Amino acid sequence: MYPEHKHHHNWLIKKTINDKLRARLPVLVGRVLDLGCGTRPFETDILEYADEYIGVDWSNTLHNLKADIISDLNKPLPIPSVSFDHIVSLEVLEHLHDPQMMLSEAFRILKSGGSITVSAPFMWWVHEAPWDYYRYTQFGHKYLFSKAGFVGIEVQPTTGFWSMWLLKLNYQTSRLIRGPWLVRLVLRAVLIPFWWINQCMAPLLDRLWPEENETAGYVVTAFKP
């Protein structure tokens, strides 16, 4: 899973994505393909249930290249059709200039009855530039997945308004940590408790004052008939 370092400004978004995937783990049996695997943070957890884990990433990754298959997800993949039971792709879809290609290839690669689990940001800052192209609403996700042929499409928000807003505030305040090392040390000492408190409070505020149209992102699950 993503590391959830509680002294960081963004551990909450990592926890929410981890929690969504953790709920899916028991069904991820057989062969699992991770599209955009990065540093393979989910491999160990997936292999508690799956027989095999294969990671795909491209050579321009900004993370350490640890893929089993090096390929551009914007193009047809060198993977046989109907060869995997499940596919995961977490925080990758926004980085593809042709997301429909990736979803269509995922549909081709999946066995009948297989599932795909995808997460992508919605209200989030531009990151890993210049490879950051899109933000998707729940309706955009449903359109792209149904166009690729998937059924049983379920789109879940990762957060409510308060978690989204406070995380964005934390990202903004993290940019204040600059200058000589002593200044950075003092600023971090002040900000870490602030980040920790608001990330602990945010999920409670989301429950007390819900807003379904404000979220940091979405997690989509869908199936190949």
Interval 96-132: pLDDT, tens: 999 999 999 999 999 999 999 999 999 999 999 999 9
Cis peptide before 130 (omega within 30 of 0): yes
Q: What average pLDDT does this structure show over 80-90?
A: 98
- The domains of the chain are located at 11-160+213-223, 162-208
Provide the phi-psi class of 196: left if phi over 0, else alpha when psi is between -120 and 50, else beta: alpha
Give the tens place of pLDDT for each residue, 154-208. Answer: 999 999 999 999 999 999 999 999 999 999 999 999 999 999 999 999 999 999 9
- How does DSSP classify residue 93? G
- Mapped to the 3 state alphabet, what secondary structure does 34-76 carry? EECCCCCCCHHHHCCCCCEEEEEECCCCCCCCCCCEECCCCCC
| pLDDT bucket at 61, cuts 50 / 70 / 90 | confident
| Local structure of 103: helix, strand or coil | helix
Average pLDDT, the chain: 97
Q: What per-residue confidence (pLDDT) applies to 135?
A: 98
On the question of pLDDT at 63 being above 80, the answer is no
Q: What is the pTM assigned to this prediction?
A: 0.95
C-alpha to C-alpha distance for 97 and 106, rounded to whole angstroms: 16
Q: Per-residue pLDDT averaged across 133-149, rounded?
A: 98
* Digit-coded pLDDT (tens) for 90-103: 999 999 999 999 99
CATH ID of 11-160+213-223, from 3.40.50.11390, 3.20.20.70, 3.40.50.280, 3.40.50.150: 3.40.50.150
Q: What is the pLDDT of residues 4-51, one digit of tens each?
A: 999 999 999 999 999 999 999 999 999 999 999 999 999 999 999 999
- Distance (Å) of CA 15 to CA 3, 5, 33, 63: 8, 10, 22, 20
* Beta-strand pair 69-70/151-157: unpaired
Contact 159, 210 (CB under 8 A): no
pLDDT bucket at 62, cuts 50 / 70 / 90: confident
Residue 212: the pLDDT is 83
**What is the C-alpha separation between 158 and 50, in angstroms, rounded?**
24
pLDDT in the model for residue 38: 94
